């Protein structure tokens, strides 16, 4: 099943610097062991993962009108992503995310994502065609609230599977939860969204989220993920899945792979427990290399 999936989120130039040692002190220099420059940002990472899993992704995002934007869009096309809905903002530099990684999994991000490279409600409206044929729409809540609301409403009106990634802003929380089919939050976002941080607390919080509107909730904690979904009748079921025993080099992008895989599995009609396990496996397949670019070919 090659589903049409629209991703509303960030596109950026990803620069990953892997260090052999600690960061140099102020006024000193240090050696970089490995350097990767690639298509990145949460939206692009999710779109790449979707394409690798057999979906047909369309990306709604903003790139600058600089040469880096040209390069990233060409990479996205090569990855099988429809970029016709990507806005090219004039007189704007494409967003930049620098990751400094000290193995294992000790990362720092330096981000240059000013307002011009974030989506506006107008950008979402102009991307109307991207929603018309979408069977699922992934909306990243790290984008401005007006754009998030516009995209979520448009997806719900199109009767697409609405997948929200992040912590809903307080003012729009009730409406977003009512419109969502799936809600996903990483460990930091899950604490912001629910106030819970232990697996036991998150099981209760995830079940409460499902009762508030979504049919599936996926909340991360330090050692794994909690999934909740609507069972038969009024019942809400939960499943806690710890992380696997994969060697962890860098957790960057693991959540993006999880969201993409969960979406693909649900579109295929896979029962939620099996979809959850598939999503966690996709996250595990992403943590073994530096940077957030997914590596899911062959997984689906």
Per-residue pLDDT of 109-148, as tens digits, reads: 999 999 999 999 999 999 999 999 999 999 999 999 999 9
Longest dimension (CA), the chain: 64
* pLDDT of the residue at 97: 98
Angle at 213 between CA 239 and CA 243, to 5 degrees: 25
Residue 160: pLDDT over 90: yes
CB 9 within 8 A of CB 49: no
> How far, in Å, CA of 36 to CA of 107, rounded?
14
Domain ranges of the chain: 4-12+39-95+115-284
pLDDT at 24 over 90: no
What pLDDT score was predicted for residue 197? 77
Q: Which has more confidence, 169 or 239?
A: 239
β-bridge pairing 136-140 and 106-112: unpaired
- pLDDT at 98 exceeding the cut of 90: yes
At 1 the pLDDT is 62
Mean pLDDT over residues 46-57, rounded? Answer: 98
Q: What is the pLDDT of residue 169?
A: 87
pLDDT beyond 90 at 263: yes
pLDDT at 85 over 80: yes
Quote the crossing angle between the two packed helices 42-52 and 67-78, to the nearest 10°: 20
The residue assigned the tokens 């984008």 is 143
User: Whole-number mean pLDDT of the chain?
Assistant: 95
Q: Which of 9-13, 40-44, 93-97, 243-247 has the lowest mean pLDDT?
A: 243-247
Token pair of 123, please?
């950008």
Tokens of 110: 């330096």
Measure Cα distances from 112 to 23, 75, 101, 153 in Å: 20, 20, 18, 29
Q: Give pLDDT, residue 234.
A: 80
**pLDDT score of 103:** 75
pLDDT per position as a tens digit, 219-253 = 999 899 999 999 887 889 999 999 988 899 999 99
Strand 106-112, strand 96-102: pairing = antiparallel
What average pLDDT does range 272-277 have in this prediction? 98
Q: Would you say 243 and 282 are in contact if contact means Cβ atoms under 8 Å apart?
A: no
Q: Which residues contact 10 (CB under 8 A, 6 or more apart)?
A: 41, 42, 43, 44, 61, 95, 113, 117, 118, 140, 142, 143
Fold classification of 4-12+39-95+115-284 is: 3.40.1190
Q: Across the strands, what pairs with 15?
A: 37, 98
Q: Mind spelling out the 3-state secondary structure of the chain?
A: CCCEEEEECCCEEEEEEEECCCCCCCCCCCCEEEEEEEEECHHHHHHHHHHHCCCEEEEECEEECCHHHHHHHHHHHHCCCECCCCEEECCCCCCEEEEEEECCCEEEEEEECCHHHCCCHHHHHHCHHHHHCCCEEEEECCCCHHHHHHHHHHHHHCCCEEEEECCCCHHHHHHHHHHCCEEEECHHHHHHHHCCCCHHHHHHHHHHHHHCCCCEEEEEECCEEEEEEECCCCCEEEEEEECCCCCCCCCCCHHHHHHHHHHHHHHCCCCHHHHHHHHHHHHHCCCCCCCCCCCCCCCC
What is the C-alpha end-to-end distance of the chain, expressed in Å?
A: 11
Residue 104 has pLDDT above 80, yes or no: yes
What average pLDDT does the segment 60-89 reach?
98
Listed in sequence order, the residues at least 6 apart from 229 whose beta carbon sits closer than 8 Å to its beta carbon are 210, 215, 216, 217, 236, 237, 272
What does the pLDDT look like over 192-214, one tens digit per residue?
999 997 889 999 999 999 998 99
């Amino acid at each position: 099943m090659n589903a049409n999936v629209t991703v509303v989120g960030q596109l950026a130039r990803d620069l990953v610097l892997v260090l052999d040692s600690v960061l140099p002190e102020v006024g000193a220099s240090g050696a970089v062991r490995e350097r990767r420059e690639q298509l990145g940002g949460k939206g692009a990472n999710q779109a790449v993962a979707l394409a690798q899993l057999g979906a047909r992704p369309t990306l709604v995002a903003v790139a600058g009108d600089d040469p880096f934007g040209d390069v990233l869009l060409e990479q996205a096309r090569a990855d099988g992503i429809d970029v016709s809905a990507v806005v090219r903002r004039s007189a704007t530099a494409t967003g930049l995310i620098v990751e400094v990684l000290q193995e294992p999994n000790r990362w720092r991000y330096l981000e240059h994502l000013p307002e011009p490279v974030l989506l506006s409600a107008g950008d979402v409206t102009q991307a109307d065609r991207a929603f018309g044929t979408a069977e699922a729409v992934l909306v990243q809540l790290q984008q401005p609230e007006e754009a998030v609301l516009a995209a979520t409403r448009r997806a719900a009106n199109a009767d697409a599977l609405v997948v929200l990634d992040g912590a809903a802003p307080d003012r729009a929380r009730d409406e977003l939860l009512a419109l969502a089919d799936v809600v996903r939050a990483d460990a930091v976002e899950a604490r912001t969204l629910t106030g819970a941080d232990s697996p036991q607390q998150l099981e209760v919080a995830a079940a409460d989220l499902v009762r508030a509107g979504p049919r599936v909730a996926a909340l991360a904690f330090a050692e794994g993920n909690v999934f909740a979904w609507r069972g038969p009748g009024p019942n809400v079921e939960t499943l806690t899945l710890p992380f696997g025993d994969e060697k962890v080099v860098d957790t960057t992008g693991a959540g993006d792979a999880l969201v993409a895989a969960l979406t693909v599995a649900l579109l295929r009609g896979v029962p939620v427990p099996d979809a959850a396990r598939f999503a966690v496996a996709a996250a595990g397949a992403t943590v073994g290399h530096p940077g957030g670019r997914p590596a899911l070919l062959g997984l689906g």
